[in-house]
């Protein structure tokens, strides 16, 4: 019985093709991550551009703890970024197919966060804004639970968004009495 020596050219081409497949898969994953993050962040930037300047909010005699407008917009962008990353983590593990409610909860959270800015800053409807914030908080709680079942990190990434929705509720409540 003769033993065969491994062919170096065959092994190196096998390793090369394996490395090429991994690189292609990594590029696809990175591309999908960029899209998953860019979508909510660009919608939020567009929303801020269209509806975000509020002279009435800046001119109010606010308590010291009420955030300035630039901080509100920055936190909205960070929240959109975190939601995009968490949604991508769920999508990457097939969570939108396993848990169909995950996608609807994510889209509802995105929609509620986009509607809040024009309702509060353009229309001045602080009561409606408060209802939106409370709905957003409840939606994010559900989103965190469903996302956590698919990917624990994705569920944890939503927690700062929940804290932001709670702070927005307090800001809205304060705006009602100013």
Angle, helix 69-92 to helix 159-176, in steps of 10 degrees = 150
The secondary structure of 147-171 as a DSSP string is: HHHH-HHHHHHTHHHHHHHHHHHHH
Q: Identify whether the C-beta of residue 112 lies closer than 8 Å to the C-beta of residue 105.
A: no
Break the chain into its structural domains and give their ranges.
Answer: 9-176
124-128, 145-149, 157-161 — which is least confidently predicted?
124-128
The model's pLDDT over 81-138, given as tens digits with 9 standing for 90+, comes to 999 999 999 999 988 888 889 999 999 999 999 999 899 888 888 899 999 999 999 9
Confidence of residue 67 (pLDDT cuts 50, 70, 90): confident
């Amino acid at each position: 019985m003769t033993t065969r020596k491994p062919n170096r050219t065959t092994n190196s081409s096998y390793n090369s093709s394996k490395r090429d497949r991994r690189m292609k898969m990594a590029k696809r994953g990175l591309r999908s991550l960029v899209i998953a993050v860019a979508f909510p962040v660009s919608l939020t930037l567009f929303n801020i551009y269209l509806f975000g300047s509020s002279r009435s909010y800046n001119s109010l005699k606010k308590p010291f703890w009420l955030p300035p407008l630039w901080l509100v917009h920055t936190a909205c962008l960070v929240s959109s970024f975190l939601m995009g990353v968490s949604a991508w983590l769920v999508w990457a593990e097939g969570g939108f197919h396993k848990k169909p409610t995950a996608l609807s909860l994510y889209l509802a959270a995105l929609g509620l966060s986009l509607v809040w800015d024009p309702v509060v800053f353009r229309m001045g409807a602080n009561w409606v804004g408060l209802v939106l914030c409370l709905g957003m908080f409840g939606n994010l709680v559900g989103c965190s639970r469903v996302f956590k079942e698919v990917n624990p990190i994705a569920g944890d990434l939503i927690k700062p968004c929940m804290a932001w929705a709670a702070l927005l509720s307090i800001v809205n409540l304060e705006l009602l009495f100013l």
